[in-house]
Amino acid sequence: MDLFSTARLSKGALNSSDHRTEFERDYDRILFSAPVRRLVDKTQVFPQEKNDSVRNRLTHSHEVSNLARSLAMRLGRQPNLAFDGLFDGAQVAVIAAAAGLAHDVGNPPFGHQGEKAISRWFEKNELDICGEGVSLPEQQRLDLLHWEGNAQAFRLVTRLQVSKGNTGLNLTAATLAALMKYTVASHERDGGPGAHSAKKKFGYFWADRQAANWVFDQTGISGGLRHPIAYIMEAADDIAYSVIDIEDAVTKRLVSIHDVRAAIGSTAPESMLGLLDGHIKDLATEARAPDEISDIVAQYFRTFAIDHLMCAASDTYTKHKAEIQSGRFGSGLIEASDAAEFCKTLKRFAFENAFSHDHVREVELQGEIMLHKLADRLWRGIDECSLRSSKLSQIEAAQGLMPKEQTTFGEFVYGQISKNYRDAFERDISLATSPAEIRYRQILLLTDMLSGMTERYSTDLLKKLDRVHDGQIPA
């Protein structure tokens, strides 16, 4: 057992000319992967944003990666050795950067509303999908009722990406552990007061439990505890979205820097407030336009706020080093820091002025309606055709499920689902031991497709399926 284990799910020969470390190879595999590229057309806060200066999931992920690396380097440079010689600080920074880059790859289109849309679709259709004779076991059912983008990220990098050995990106155990902000299954979640942060959501689906258990065995962490770098990655994410969402709100003219200054007045350090006031005053004397002042000072605000939160996270890590490195520390670094109230103020301000903005809510609602329609269409194809091979049809018959009548439309729809996902499904379904497991894996195939799409692709796909269904073009 080794917190910094370089073991991989699938062993392969190394290129003798490749002088990268194992963790540098992990970072590069993530960077060049299709799920990361697709983040460019997934919402961070503002759906279908036309202003190129406003963040999407890809820019957010790069910023989280950068902050995670910087925080790890800051800790590694401390004279009291934050990692106690457990591992080289520079490589800790590479692992943190890799986890930060991959942390959102499982998120569906249309922001956090996309996660809720998937869960609500299953809740609404559960009885029709499963029928009265099929009852999903508790964990499988909760996987779908509380569908989780973090678990999907783990599934993507360990299972769904095409690779030799069918192990996804085949990352090291250490990088996978650092990625797992949550380390329990869906039926073990605990969102109550005082619960360990690693239990507030779940980190892997029932279908991926073997990969999760392998990570735990290799690194020595266990369900309900955390890898120390996962704390660093979580802090970087907290810092990025609490600060940068506000900068985006200023860029979109939803608020001014004066609104921000007023909101943080009671929780920001006096030194930060003084610097902001000085820059506002200096720019005013230059006869700058109000919007220009807001844009410029928002950049200073971002720099000052990030530095303040990074220092606070570093201090918390150092103070609670023993608990963190054993995975027992139950809070987040920012949550337990002297900057906790400041961060709460930023998140509250962002929620009230960005997340709750009428335009954001309207587009998110449209996105949920669209995802539900798309799920209806895709499910028809899966239900009719996912067991169409003779081998899989035999499994269906053996489990007592009635074979579905295949239609031309259903075949067309099924063909639109990613071949990677269909291949993974067909490999997994051959091991199914009950009608419930068949249904569960069919629904996971649906959620794999829904979460993997970009916003533009999902919109175009629904239009295509609607045209075919309505007979406007032949299937």
Contact status, residue 324 vs residue 317, Cβ threshold 8 Å? yes
Amino acid 392: pLDDT = 63
Q: What is the mean pLDDT of residues 424-444?
A: 89
474 vs 144 pLDDT, higher one? 144
> Looking at 140-149, 206-215, 343-352, which range is the least confident one?
343-352
Question: What is the amino acid identity at position 460?
Answer: D
The contacts of residue 362 (CB under 8 Å, 6+ apart) are: none
Length, in residues, of the chain = 475
Share of the chain above pLDDT 90, in %: 64
89 vs 139 pLDDT, higher one? 139
Average pLDDT, the chain: 88
> Looking at 291-295, 374-378, 401-405, which range is the least confident one?
401-405
Quick: pLDDT tens for 245-273. 888 888 888 889 999 999 999 999 999 99
pLDDT band for position 16 (50/70/90)? low
pLDDT of 81 higher than 60: no
Main-chain phi, psi angles of 295, to 5 degrees: -65, -45
Q: What is the mean pLDDT of residues 159-184?
A: 90
Q: Which residue's entry shows tokens 């690194």?
A: 219
Amino acid 159: pLDDT = 92
Amino acid 105: pLDDT = 96
Q: What is the mean pLDDT of residues 158-182?
A: 90
Q: What is the mean pLDDT of residues 117-136?
A: 88
Amino acid 84: pLDDT = 63
- The terminus-to-terminus CA distance of the chain in angstroms comes to 54
pLDDT band for position 475 (50/70/90)? very low
85 vs 344 pLDDT, higher one? 344
Q: What is the mean pLDDT of residues 115-136?
A: 88
Eight-class DSSP state of 286: T
pLDDT band for position 474 (50/70/90)? very low
pLDDT of 437 higher than 80: yes
Amino acid 245: pLDDT = 85
Of 457, 347, 439, give the one whose Cα is nearest residue 401: 439
DSSP secondary structure of 409-459: HHHHHHHTS-HHHHHHHHHHHTT--SHHHHHHHHHHHHHHHHHH--HHHHH
Amino acid 341: pLDDT = 97
pLDDT of 98 higher than 90: yes
Quick one: tokens of 432?
């199914």
Quick one: tokens of 418?
């990613």
Quick: pLDDT tens for 294-349. 989 999 999 999 999 999 999 999 999 989 988 999 999 999 999 999 999 999 99
